[in-house]
A and B are shown apart, each in its own frame.
Chain A
Amino acid sequence: MSASSFDIVVIGAGPGGYVAAIRAAQLGLSAAIVEREHLGGVCLNWGCIPTKALLASAHVLRLAQHAAAFGVDVPQVSFDLARMVKRSRAVSAQLQAGVKQLLKKHKVAVFEGQGKLAGKGRVSVSRDGKTLAELSARHIILATGARPRVVAGLEPDGKQVWSYKDALLPPVMPKSLLVVGSGAIGIEFACFYRTLGAEVTVVEVMDRILPAEDAEISALATRSFAKQGIKVLSSATVKRLEKGAEQVTATVASAGKTSVISAERVIVAVGISPNIENLGLEGSKLGFEKGHVRVNQWLETDEPGLYAIGDLTMPPWLAHKASHEAVICVEKIAGAADVHPLDIRRIPGCTYSHPQIASLGLSEEKAREGGREIRIGRFPFQANGKAIAQGESEGLIKTVFDAKTGELLGAHMIGAEVTEMIQGYAIAKTLEATEAELMNTVFPHPTLSEAMYESVLDAYGRVLHS
């Protein structure tokens, strides 16, 4: 057992925690990080990254399936799910090693075990019931993330009812799949398994899938998924799951009617629960809000010297939000100049479905709230040369501007590569560009990004190619 003292001890080494530790080291603070499972957290090991690896496999498969349309003959298209999964795991392993390297480079002390508050300014690290270390810290940052929310009756069993983790490690290819929840996670798995040939049904409790997105984008996504053969049931609730030998039968209530859906596997992706247990929070003043840790704009909890970042706190629950909070939190602790609270309207959200979806800021509906006068621009990929050339002419870029000030209030995109393009609007928004600067920006031809330009022009009645 070792005892050490640090300026900052971070509990949890996900995209919030390890970034906090690195930033602390950069600012000359001594930092330690405590991780009970994997460096990189869920994002790198069981979330963002491995799903992107699987979706990349699905993308290659889709291209192969449609190769003939491009004049390329691929006589026999087949796939090996096990190798896809193996590749996905290798990608995570590579990045996990990378995080380890980064922490080492910045001389961050890494403690592998369960971190727990042990009095003011103290963290104990234990594994298998044995205490490994007692750490003291001037500041403690909680970055323990979240886990899938478990709903009674829909508890994952790892066999027939999957959580995202199970869905990343399929032992066999399911012929049919029921996805409960149509947020980014549910939709990405629906797309992946659909591309591989599974019969997929998505059940969403809200009146539309991807309920966080602009309604118009959500409607386009629904249409596109339907074309691919994904069945969508919105305003629907799974009342009961009955597990048979081969099939799970779900009773789904929708619009006052009940229907029965059978599938080999069920993926439950109905939100998250913050990991607040076994952290020794009982004696602290730390408070909660809707089940999540209450923090102020500087990520300070109600307990002095104790901070929380990422999925522990309020939404959006996104890796890049956690990383930014980490930087803000640590810089504030270090007394850095020019630290500003995170503006959640500047946090882009991405769904790696096919087609991709990306958005930033206010939806049209939200922007209109309070009687604000707005301007809406729309530009379809059908009118974009590059999109047609690469055979991905499905998509739309929608922009929302404040009619008075020209502020870019929101951007909503569906189509190829939009997750890579949304940052253009994010930069514009961060620099507080108005429509004038966006119109003065030269977008290269031929690119998909020209559609971003045209959407801005459209909002001001100046669209050129539509």
Chain B
Amino acid sequence: MPAVSPSMTEGSIARWLKKEGETVKAGELLAEIETDKAVVEFEAVDAGVLGQILVPDGAQNVPVGQVIALLLQPGEDAATLAHSAPVNTPQETAPASAVTMAPAPAPSPAPAAAPASGRIFASPLARRIALERQVDLARIKGSGPGGRIVKRDVEAAAAALPAAAAAYQEIPNNSMRRMIARRLTEAKQSIPHFYLSIDCSIDALLAMRKELNEFSAAARLSVNDFVIKAAALALRQLPEVNASWTEAAIRRYHSVDVSVAVSTPAGLITPIVRDADRKGMAQIASEMKALAERGRMGKLLAEEYQGGGFTISNLGMYGIREFAAIINPPQSCILAVGAGEARPVVKDGALAIATMMTCTLSADHRVVDGALGAEYLAAFRKLIEHPLNMLL
């Protein structure tokens, strides 16, 4: 199982694109692998014949490093397969001191599957009960000798689960859901969040958008595209915000890469508009449209959602007035964008009606102090309220 994204520890085979016996050229697509965030296409590194698929379509939670298939080099015979498999066992199985390993172990006729890493130690009875009561052994801590999972562990885990006849249905978490849960919990618990809200009048922005969209129907601009651009330009003005906390140093990014939260059926994903400060509105709009679409289909490549220095989460389309978002680590800020709505405002000492949009910045206080956050929001509002400045 290749690590197609840096954070993945296990993956699932969405489907094989080649069959056993098919010839594979280097760079050709072999399989689609589902990681915690997306379905990633997996290319063959070497040419050869796909000799044997060891992990079939749909296999879940395959640890990184586990052999998933055997590729025959030219001249190799499929008949040798049963013997060659153990040589390919993952690195984790090698002793810490590789020196003592030499010479390389001779191939032995052991079964191909079951690598040492990720192997679950459980008694036969524990496995049987887990199967019957639908308990995931991977999530049980064993109390038997050497941490082996025994009957009492599975029964305790099963007892903790709701009864089969419960008034609700259990939807098993996929790896993406679990990753979101883990990262958000980590973020909310470990990052000292604070929140700043600002109201922006967007009448000028709406007028400009209307005009631009009338001018070119090709790339329809959304309010959010303006928000992306304004947020990016404000980051260029205040680069201290475009930064991450590390124990040793605050890491300030050179490029302005804005992550945008996209809701998909499988969960939340944050594709990135790179160099958003330097891109024109039309380009931002078309990129964002493509990224969101591919994100919803689970087709984003790892580099399309990994990285970014700042995130925008917009719930305006749902009529949400304002909300506070959880920071997307290792970034230090996330901007929660509410709905644009007509509100009474005081203008020049008189009551007037304006279209207002409330934005709330969640900031990591280790990186961004209150005044800096406020400065950033002020710069952002200035751009939103005077959108012509974005053209400068």
Contacts and interface: CB of A to CB of B under 8 A. Distances in A.
Q: Do A and B bind each other?
A: yes
B132 A407 contact: no
A406 B145 contact: no
B123 A431 contact: yes
Interface in B126-173: 126, 128-129, 132, 143-145, 150-151
A219 to B, nearest CB: 30
Which of A338, A405, A406, A434 has the largest number of chain B CB atoms within 10 A?
Answer: A405
B141 to A, nearest CB: 13
B126 A432 contact: yes
B125 interface: yes
A340 to B, nearest CB: 7
B145 A433 contact: no
12 contacts: A338-B144, A340-B143, A404-B132, A405-B125, A405-B128, A405-B129, A432-B125, A432-B126, A433-B125, A434-B124, A434-B128, A437-B124
Contacts of B132: 404-405
Interface string A398-440: 0000001111000000000000000000000001111011000
B149 to A, nearest CB: 10
Contacts of A405: 125, 128-129, 132
A406 B128 contact: yes
A436 B143 contact: no
B108 to A, nearest CB: 22
B145 A432 contact: no
User: Which size bracket describes the interface of A in this complex?
Assistant: 10 to 19
B97 to A, nearest CB: 27
Interface of A: 338, 340, 404-407, 431-434, 436-437
Interface of B: 123-126, 128-129, 132, 143-145, 150-151
Identify whether the interface residues of A are mostly helix, strand, loop, or mixed: loop
B145 to A, nearest CB: 6
Nearest to B152: A340
A131 B128 CA distance: 59
Contact of B124 (A338, A340, A404, A433): A433
A312 to B, nearest CB: 26
Contacts, number: 31
Which of B123, B125, B128, B129 has the largest number of chain A CB atoms within 10 A?
Answer: B125
Contacts of B150: 432
B146 to A, nearest CB: 8
Contacts of A406: 124-125, 128
A283 B169 CA distance: 56
Contacts of A437: 124
Which of A340, A407, A432, A434 has the largest number of chain B CB atoms within 10 A?
Answer: A432
A436 B145 contact: no
B276 to A, nearest CB: 54
A432 B151 contact: yes
User: Which 8 A-B pairs give the minimum distances between C-beta atoms?
Assistant: A432-B123, A432-B125, A434-B124, A405-B128, A407-B125, A437-B124, A405-B129, A432-B151
A201 B362 CA distance: 89
Contacts of B123: 431-433
Nearest to B143: A340
Contacts of B125: 405-407, 432-434
A137 B151 CA distance: 37
A437 to B, nearest CB: 5
A7 to B, nearest CB: 26
Contacts of A432: 123-126, 150-151
B177 to A, nearest CB: 30
A431 B151 CA distance: 10
A276 B151 CA distance: 36
Nearest to A341: B152
B361 to A, nearest CB: 49
B112 to A, nearest CB: 20
B123 to A, nearest CB: 3
A9 to B, nearest CB: 30
A407 B144 CA distance: 17
A162 B128 CA distance: 51
A338 to B, nearest CB: 6
Nearest to A438: B124
A340 B144 CA distance: 8
Contacts of A434: 124-125, 128
A230 to B, nearest CB: 40
Contacts of B145: 338
Contacts of A340: 143
Given A406-B125, A431-B124, A433-B125, 7 more contacts: A338-B145, A405-B125, A405-B128, A406-B124, A407-B151, A432-B124, A433-B123
Which of B126, B128, B144, B150 has the largest number of chain A CB atoms within 10 A?
Answer: B128
Nearest to A343: B152
Contacts of B151: 407, 432
Contacts of A431: 123-124
Contacts of B128: 405-407, 434
